[in-house]
Chain A
């Protein structure tokens, strides 16, 4: 059941009505059943995987939860934590990385292992990370979420289960326990968000897809430097509109059901440094990695600055690996790690420059970040490392400056860039408003029907429900 299908709209409508009609335990069970129906609509075979991971995490959390005791109890808790995290990540490893691992082993001259061909359960990268964060939070003294039916909603709640935002238990549990139904203004805000997501996906992301697919095909051997730069930007915009539109629909859906999810994007291409980019791009993954992996490693590194940099590159390579079991993804992550290290190394000399250089440097930083982040997308999107290397070489050596795509392709990229630069900041301001603080008696309220009419007209015209979201594969 795609988020951009009419079936999903009907499903959501039914869900909103059922949630408003129920309360307490019945409401929780209803939400859980609806979540399982949503997941089963994708592939019923994966429902047991989701439930198994959820049930395992629930009981494991009980074992790792903080309690009074001696050193032996503490050791036992730590052991439980290690084994339970290994268990959850093991499921992810089996489904996502076993093929890659076996292929790597088979590179050895004597190894002839059969290569597994497992289908990746939808959203597994997301719900396993949420379960790991839950285990760690409970270990550190966080409250357990009980009973089981309530906890299972944490990884399974459909608006965030497939592709985030990656929630933390402290964000989700209080909302679930409070069980406050959405007010009319919140439902309206949810509808706004849903329509924005649909438009971004159907009109913008899908319009960029043919150019990107064509440009990266056939090894991209004949592309000029200018075309590869345009392609990088096109894919950067496509993946932004695609993923952020998914997030819009997820956040909008949750809002209509009375839940407030954290934001996942904050105008990422406005960032003036690579570090800033990761504070604006896939924000819930960034904070997960920062809090559970990078900070602990940073503490270990102590004053050894070089070791922090090594950890930074390694952690970002892991972020890449999380996106996909392939060398291109790892290199993409490492590229970002290297950019962040480079940015930190430049910060010292930059501070010693005269004050008047501040503004030009900020502009240069923003442009450089935009260029380097988009160049990184070449690694992310290329099917092979060889192709990515060739394209990056062409881009950075400025080999060939003749634009060879059709005029319309460039115009689509310019329009998409224009939409990002001109419309996205406005939309961001619009959706960031607290719907419960808006005065709906103002005359401009009546602009909504017109906006809805235009949005629906565009949705109908560009509707293509069989185009999957890019992040569904991760």
Chain B
């Protein structure tokens, strides 16, 4: 039976409403995005990591607000011990496994900074305490931000910083929310204000981070004070709807799905070669320069190493990579920092598996031992000598 055009019966309106609610209930009952992620990951072959002391699940302790908390738990070095702080990306604290390898139960993989610390202890007993302040995808601009905390706010400032310079990190800039949380510490905010230069290439990121933080603070204050507004009330009511309640997890899974599609369907993975140029590169080098100057002005020694690169992966354009290494070498020389190029330090059989091929960033426990040995070889003697000079 057909009605007149434009005629919408009450039964159909009620049916539409009921069907929409039913669809929302069905959607809310499961998470198809999660199921899809499970399917595309091929039963866990996407990436497999052996837990470490600073494994990815806990990596955020080194950033922002958690840094403030974790510092409280970090024992102050014994009198006479100097603090060495490692800065870098996730390569510094993860142990990636090759394809097919199984995670060893109840085993915490040892990471390079620990092995390096132990070797240093043998060279200069009682001289140093090593702390690893690396974070996932930590860029030079974020390292500079975090270093400001270490040098201007922390009760015991580092005597030495070991900076891992990974070219992959030079393609990004910006200060992520976790880092912005450092602004809750008034001394950090004051140090930042004194340090910031409007003409610095990274200044825009610093300002944007402060702005973002202000916006978020307002939201947090509003939520905490539970000042009632219609919007707060409505959102509270929506929390009863599973589809709304689970929105953050659903979005995360949805974005992971898009990532899987990108890798598996388009073939664009972390191992895909990409240009590293433009603003992010300029900002990163400027941040690195100011980091070295900040450390030196604070009386700290700076040791820089070029991060190992998986020989089985060709993720950089060679001319850009060579130019980067030369620029880094020149920068460290100009700023009186020690430098060692460890790009080829870790052989290809020490790297893990990442989604669709060899892991371009992370290596396994053995790789960490190799890296630690090379770091010790490059910096150990110098640090042993320095121990008596501080």
Chain A residues close to B by CB (< 8 Å): 5-7, 9-10, 183-185, 188, 213-215, 217-218, 220-224, 227, 400, 402-408, 411, 434-441, 445-446, 448-450, 452-453, 456-457, 460-463, 465-466
Q: Which residues of A are found within 8 Å of B13, using beta-carbon distances?
A: 184
Chain B residues with CB under 8 Å of A406's CB are 171-172
B268 within 8 Å of A by Cβ? yes
A176 to B27, CA, bound (A): 41
Q: Which residue of B has the minimal Cβ distance to A217?
A: B204
> Min CB distance, A224 to chain B, in Å?
6
| Contact status B23-A449, CB under 8 Å | yes
Question: Across the interface, do B277 and A402 meet the contact criterion of CB distance under 8 Å?
Answer: yes
Find the A residue at minimum CB distance from B13. Answer: A184
Task: Give A5 to B230 CA distance when docked, in angstroms.
Answer: 10
Q: List 25 A-B contacts (CB under 8 A).
A: A7-B230, A7-B234, A183-B8, A185-B6, A214-B279, A217-B208, A217-B279, A218-B205, A221-B279, A221-B282, A222-B201, A222-B279, A400-B277, A402-B277, A402-B320, A403-B274, A406-B171, A408-B262, A411-B262, A437-B5, A441-B3, A453-B24, A460-B244, A463-B247, A466-B215
Give A189 to B86 CA distance when docked, in angstroms.
Answer: 59
**If the complex has contacts A7-B231, A450-B23, A457-B243, are A404 and B6 also in contact, measured as CB distance less than 8 A?**
no
Shortest beta-carbon distance, B259 to chain A, in Å?
A: 8
Q: Which of B14-22, B104-112, B299-307 contacts A (4 or more CB under 8 A)?
A: B14-22
Q: Which residues of B contact A439 (CB under 8 A)?
A: 2-3, 5
A440 touches B234 (CB 8 A): no
Main secondary structure of the interface of A (DSSP, over half): helix
> Which of B5, B24, B173, B208 is close to A438, meaning CB atoms less than 8 Å apart?
B5
Q: Is B297 an interface residue (CB 8 A)?
A: no
Q: A223, A456, A463: which contacts B279 (Cβ < 8 A)?
A: A223
Task: Report whether B6 and A402 are in contact in the complex, using a CB–CB cutoff of 8 Å.
Answer: no
Extra A-B contacts (16), CB below 8 Å, given A404-B276, A438-B5, A439-B2: A6-B231, A7-B231, A214-B174, A223-B278, A400-B277, A403-B274, A404-B275, A411-B268, A436-B6, A439-B5, A440-B7, A441-B1, A445-B12, A457-B24, A457-B250, A460-B238
B112 smallest CB distance to A (angstroms): 27
Name A440's closest neighbour in chain B (CB-CB): B8
Chain B residue, CB-CB nearest to A219: B204
Instruction: List CB contacts (< 8 Å) of B191-232 with chain A.
Output: 201, 203-205, 208, 215, 219, 229-231
Contact between A6 and B235, CB atoms less than 8 A apart: yes
Closest to A460 in B: B247
Are A214's CB and B16's CB within 8 A? no
Task: Answer whether residue B92 sits at the interface, using C-beta atoms and an 8 A cutoff.
Answer: no
- Contact status B251-A462, CB under 8 Å: yes
Contacts of A6 in B (CB 8 A): 231, 234-235, 238
In this assembly, does B373 line the interface, its C-beta being within 8 Å of a C-beta of chain A?
A: no
- A218: contacting residue among B3, B172, B204, B238, CB under 8 A: B204
Nearest chain-A residue to B7 (Cβ)? A440
Q: Pick from A218, A411, A437, A449: contact of B201, CB below 8 A.
A: A218
Closest chain A CB from B77 CB (angstroms): 38
A10 CB contact (under 8 Å) in B24, B234, B243:
B234
Question: A residues within 8 A CB of B208?
Answer: 213, 217
In the complex, which of the residues B24, B243, B278 contacts A227, with contact meaning CB atoms closer than 8 Å?
A: B278
B272 within 8 A of A: yes
How many residues in B have their beta carbons less than 8 Å from beta carbons of A?
Answer: 55
- Roughly how many angstroms separate A448 CA and B244 CA in the complex, as a whole number? 20
- By Cβ-Cβ distance, the 6 closest A-B pairs, closest first, are A404-B278, A453-B23, A436-B6, A449-B19, A6-B234, A461-B251
From residue B34, how far is it (CB to closest CB) to chain A in Å?
A: 13
Q: Which residues of A have CB within 8 Å of B23?
A: 449-450, 452-453
Residue in chain A with minimal CB distance to B26: A453
Give the distance in Å from the alpha carbon of A433 to the alpha carbon of B235 in the complex.
Answer: 34
Q: Decide if B50 is an interface residue (CB 8 Å cutoff).
A: no
Chain A residues with CB under 8 A of B277: 222, 224, 400, 402, 404
By the criterion CB–CB under 8 Å, are A457 and B27 in contact? yes
Per the bound structure, the CA–CA distance linking A421 and B97 in Å amounts to 43
**B294 interfacial by beta-carbon distance below 8 Å:** no
Min CB–CB distance A298 → chain B (angstroms): 42
Residue interface bits B226-262, CB-to-A below 8 A is 1, else 0: 0001110011001000011001001100100000001
For the complex formed, measure the closest distance between the CB of B135 and the CB atoms of chain A, giving whole angstroms.
Answer: 18
Closest-CB distance, B224 to chain A (whole angstroms)? 16
Most B CB within 10 A of own CB, among A184, A406, A435: A184
Give Cα A82–Cα B235 distance, bound, in whole angstroms: 50
Nearest B residue to A188, CB-CB? B8
- Chain B residues with CB under 8 Å of A222's CB are 201, 277-283
Task: Say how far B29's CB is from chain A's closest CB, in angstroms.
Answer: 12
Contact of B5 among A220, A407, A436 (CB under 8 A): A436
The residue of chain A having its C-beta at the shortest distance from the C-beta of B4 within the complex is: A439
What is the chain B residue whose CB lies nearest that of A411? Answer: B262
Give, as a whole number of angstroms, the nearest-CB distance from A279 to chain B: 30
**Max chain A CB contacts within 10 Å: which of B7, B171, B283?**
B7
CA distance A7 to B233 in the complex (A): 9
Task: Report how far A466 CA is from B212 CA in the complex, Å.
Answer: 12
In the assembled complex, the CB of B212 is this many whole angstroms from the nearest CB of chain A, namely 11
A453-B23, A453-B24 are contacts. A403–B247 as well, Cβ < 8 Å?
Answer: no
Nearest CB on B from A49, distance (A): 24
Are A453 and B12 in touch, CB under 8 angstroms?
no
1/0 per residue B149-188: CB within 8 Å of A? 0000000000000000000000111100000000000000
User: Would you call B20 and A452 a contact (CB within 8 A)?
Assistant: yes
In the bound complex, CA of A220 to CA of B283 (Å): 11
Contact indicator per residue, chain B 39-80, by CB within 8 Å of chain A (1) or not (0): 000000000000000000000000000000000000000000
Q: Is A405 in contact with B231, judged by CB distance below 8 angstroms? A: no
Residues on B with C-beta less than 8 A from A407 are 262, 268, 272, 274
Shortest distance in angstroms between B210's beta carbon and chain A's nearest beta carbon? 14
Q: Evaluate whether A185 and B7 lie within 8 angstroms (CB atoms) in the complex, with A6-B231, A221-B279, A452-B20 already known.
A: yes
Contacting residues, chain B, for A188 (C-beta < 8 A): 8, 16
Query: In the complex, A439→B174 CA distance in Å?
Result: 52
Determine whether the beta carbon of A460 is less than 8 Å from that of B243.
Answer: yes
Q: In the docked arrangement, what's the CA distance between A408 and B234, Å? A: 34
**Complex Cα distance A221/B280, Å?**
11
| Complex Cα spacing A147 to B121, Å | 90
Name the residue on B nearest A449 (C-beta): B19
- Residue contact A220 to B279, C-beta cutoff 8 Å: yes
| Assembled-state Cα–Cα distance A408/B20 (Å) | 33
Among B238, B272, B279, the residue within 8 A (CB) of A404 is: B279
With A7-B234, A456-B24 as given contacts, are A224 and B19 in contact (CB-CB < 8 Å)?
A: no
A453 touching B276, Cβ below 8 Å: no
A435's nearest neighbour on chain B, judged by CB, is B6
A441-B2 contact given A407-B274, A449-B23, CB 8 Å threshold: yes
- A220 surroundings in chain B (CB, below 8 A): 279
Given contacts A7-B234, A218-B283, A402-B278, contact A185 B8 (CB under 8 A): yes
Q: Closest Cβ of chain B: how far from A12's Cβ, in Å?
A: 13
Q: What is the bound-complex CA distance between A448 and B18, given in angstroms?
A: 12
User: How long is the Cα–Cα vector from A439 to B12 in the complex, in angstroms?
Assistant: 12
Query: With the chains together, A299 CA to B355 CA distance in Å?
Result: 67
Q: Which of B16, B172, B281 is A449 in contact with, Cβ under 8 Å? A: B16
Contact A453 B171, beta carbon cutoff 8 Å: no
Per-residue contact bits, chain B 301-344, to A (CB 8 Å; 1 contact, 0 not): 00000000000000000001000000000000000000000000
